[in-house]
A and B are shown apart, each in its own frame.
Chain A
Amino acid sequence: MDTGVAAKLQSLDEAPTLPMTGAAYLPGVAYDEMFAAGGDVRAHYAPLQSRMATLGASALADRQKTLERSFLLQGITFTVYGAGSATERIIPTDLFPRIIPAAEWARIESGLTQRLQALNMFLADIYGEQKILMDGVVPRELVLGAPSYRREMQNLYVPHKSYANVCGSDLIRGQDGEFAVLEDNLRVPSGVSYMLANRDAAKRTFPGTYREAGVRPVERYPDLLLATLKSMSADWRSDPQVVVLTPGVYNSAYYEHAYLARLMGVPLVEGRDLVVHDNMVYMRTTTGLRRVDVIYRRVDDDFIDPLTFRRDSSLGAAGLFNAYRAGNVVICNAPGTGVADDKAVYAFVPDIIRYYLGEDPILPNIETYLCREKSQLSHVLDNLDKLVVKAVGASGGYGMLVGPHASAQERAEFAEALKADPANYIAQPTIQLSTAPCLVDGRIEPRHVDLRPFILSGEKTIVTPGALTRVALKRGSLVVNSSQGGGSKDTWVLAEENGHHNGNGHGKGGPQ
């Protein structure tokens, strides 16, 4: 694989140069978001390119610094816990937006809508009649045997059959330029605050370019989220009280919880603020107890209710699940959605889409080997140096082996783990994620990126026209998770009419 990369590298002479640094930009073998194979700038990147051309290296560095400073001031940080100390860090943010033309987005949007619709139907089925298991489309063991399958959810009424109200699916663009789904996140997906904060920053960094490009706004996310949450409450509650449930200030995503609560204008509660009495959920306010109707929880299933789930949890509210079961409160996302984003179930999502919708998936999956199958396990073991192997239950880039980048010893150790518990692993081919230009140490260099759009699903399903683009900041690295040194950048989804600049001359005012 490494030799392949080298062979396909463009020679220095052919490489496009960016005027302000004069340095070569070498996209390499992967699909580059900005430059086509021949080195031409893709049309939808033209406005950004012309702006980049007029800014000098020091101006760019200044803007980057201002950007980071503003993140630090706003407290858009996550906390890294070491031995006895805690440091707050900002998630590294790159100032260049990643731009997606309207036509590509349309496909992503319809693909994700289809996918989430099917996944919600899947959840309704496996917690109801279990037809898909009876029909043998998905192995029963994978679903009923998964720790994330919650028997407590069986036969419960979920409004609109919307189990995953907030979904953040991870998409990647392969060498062929096509988007594929790498992972669905249906439990408590995070990152949407970075999408909003990045947008805020990008507007300040490249105001003219932003205006000229015709970018679809993402700022409505908080009120759409609130509308989605309200649509989940019982019809007879006229003005449902929505709250955001956070594990607390020590959680690394606390900033996001507070951010969303603030922008929705709803209370940010911790488990200790909630009281369940006579099967109703209340929050303790200064003027007494107040009924809660909808809980947007950012606490894992296991921790939401010590009476029903983990007995030692101090993060939830005892009795919450019984109130939910009785229909007196709504928990979003519904408990037990995790079973549908399990990495082993992932492999069956195309089948799930065909089963429920009778349609072919619009967005393809990445080819996935289930190590629980003997034949697939031996294939994986034989090709460890070419594959990415992931633990089924883990997330956040933990419990993962990137074969081509691992040492022989790491691979040997992982092989042992695999053999000891094959059902716990899946493997996928190493995909060259697409690259996008990033400012790294004063130079513009290609870095691998993925794409996490956010889909809301209540009465309606809405794909936010924007996304979090996660960046692997280490050269050549394919791991974009923030816990593993990833960063992010703003994502511009272009509106149809403004997407092509050879049209009516709209916004041709030049750089500002």
Chain B
Amino acid sequence: MMLARVADSLYWLGRYIERAEHLSRLSSVMLNATLDQTDSGMQAVWIALSAVGDDGAGKVSPFEAARALVLDRSDPNSVVSSLTMARENARQVRDQITTETWERLNVLYLRVTDASAEAEFADNSVSYLHDVIADVHLFKGAADATMSHGESWRFMMLGMYLERAQLVSSLLEVCFAQAPSREIHDHLALVSLLRMACALEPYLRVYTAEIEPRHILEFLVFDEDFPRSIRFATSRIEEHLTALARHVEAAGRAAPERLAGKLKARLQYADVDELETIGAGALLTTVVNECARIHEAIYETFVAYPLELRLPA
């Protein structure tokens, strides 16, 4: 049992944290890639900026684009905005999360909102982003290690994995669902892509240094054990929703756990051959759309349900 509003805040806390981490990594990889003045570097910039929906890709310098992505407070999707929102949500549910977890997030928030943040970023942006990402990991670790893995934690995880499934799908859509002419084949650009999904080292252990789009798709969509693959994320979503829905008994509800179950099954029984036949785009679009439907169903079931359906007898 927990307050509907609290569940909502925890869910968004998870989403914002995941978003902040992802954006930090995109920025970091992008900046790293441009250290070499190569075409691959520019392709990496294009991937990163397209993945965040930045149409003006290439109009400003990669550094300026990354700075905006990280520190622009007027952009609701920047790292600093995401972390501010994450902390704001955490503050709303301060009684639900452990002090250890809260402190990690608070430190991170104080870091990115500090007056010296701009200067530190300008001074050594890659190291700055490294620290931000490390802090996010500390937060996640603290949450995992100190919070009860009950409802609160599950809602947070739910938000995290939904956000992750959507972010990874968007990233893959940019690279593999475009017109064939825009498909990425450049080796270094593909390495950057794997880095953006935090997948390079785990990928290498499975596929060695053969960097192939087909393998990348297989790994990031279907791998069962890699925590950033879409299948992994949807499995977790289904698992958390099934646990959360156990106590909900309302007729006519949208049953998010069933939607999640269907999506999970879809990914379980598909493989990379099918993907190549029907085109990656179709499946990735399905994932993005289904995630949006699950999001709405979560709202209708747990948060903004109509009162009259839940009145006590």
Chain A positions near chain B (C-beta within 8 angstroms): 72-75, 244, 249, 254-255, 258-259, 261-262, 267-270, 272-273, 275, 277, 280, 282-291
Contact = CB atoms under 8 A, between A and B. Distances in A.
Given A74-B99, A249-B88, A258-B95, A287 B1 contact: yes
Nearest to A261: B95
Given A74-B99, A75-B102, A284-B5, A289 B94 contact: no
Nearest to A272: B5
A74 B103 contact: yes
A75 B94 contact: yes
A285 B99 contact: no
B91 interface: yes
A290 B248 CA distance: 13
A258 B97 CA distance: 10
Given A73-B103, A74-B99, A258-B95, A277 B311 contact: yes
A258 B6 CA distance: 12
A73 B107 contact: yes
Contacts of A275: 307
Given A258-B95, A286-B248, A289-B312, A273 B4 contact: yes
Given A74-B103, A75-B106, A249-B92, A288 B248 contact: yes
15 contacts: A74-B106, A75-B102, A75-B106, A249-B88, A254-B91, A268-B95, A272-B5, A275-B307, A277-B307, A282-B312, A285-B4, A286-B303, A287-B249, A288-B248, A290-B1
Nearest to A258: B94
A476 to B, nearest CB: 32
Contacts of B7: 286
Given A72-B110, A275-B307, A255 B2 contact: no
B145 interface: no
Nearest to B90: A75
B247 interface: yes
A261 B5 CA distance: 15
Given A74-B99, A286-B151, A262 B94 contact: yes
Interface residues of B, number: 34
Given A72-B110, A74-B99, A75-B106, A284 B4 contact: yes
Interface in B104-121: 106-107, 110
B282 interface: no
Contacts of A280: 312
Interface in B74-130: 88, 91-96, 99, 102-103, 106-107, 110
A5 to B, nearest CB: 41
B226 interface: no
A240 to B, nearest CB: 15
A286 B2 CA distance: 6
Contacts of B1: 285-287, 290
A283 B95 contact: no
Most B Cβ at <10 Å: residue of A72, A268, A291: A268
Contacts of B204: none
B3 interface: yes
A267 B2 contact: yes
Nearest to B310: A288
A269 B6 CA distance: 9
A37 to B, nearest CB: 44
B250 interface: yes
A261 B91 CA distance: 13
B97 to A, nearest CB: 9
A249 B9 CA distance: 12
- Of B155, B247, B312, the most chain A CB neighbours within 10 A belong to B312
A291 B2 contact: no
Contacts of A286: 1-4, 7, 151, 155, 244, 247-248, 302-303
Interface in B284-313: 302-303, 305, 307, 310-312
Contacts of B91: 75, 249, 254, 258
B5 to A, nearest CB: 5
B2 A285 contact: yes
A369 B91 CA distance: 44
B6 A267 contact: yes
Contacts of A273: 3-5
Nearest to A255: B94
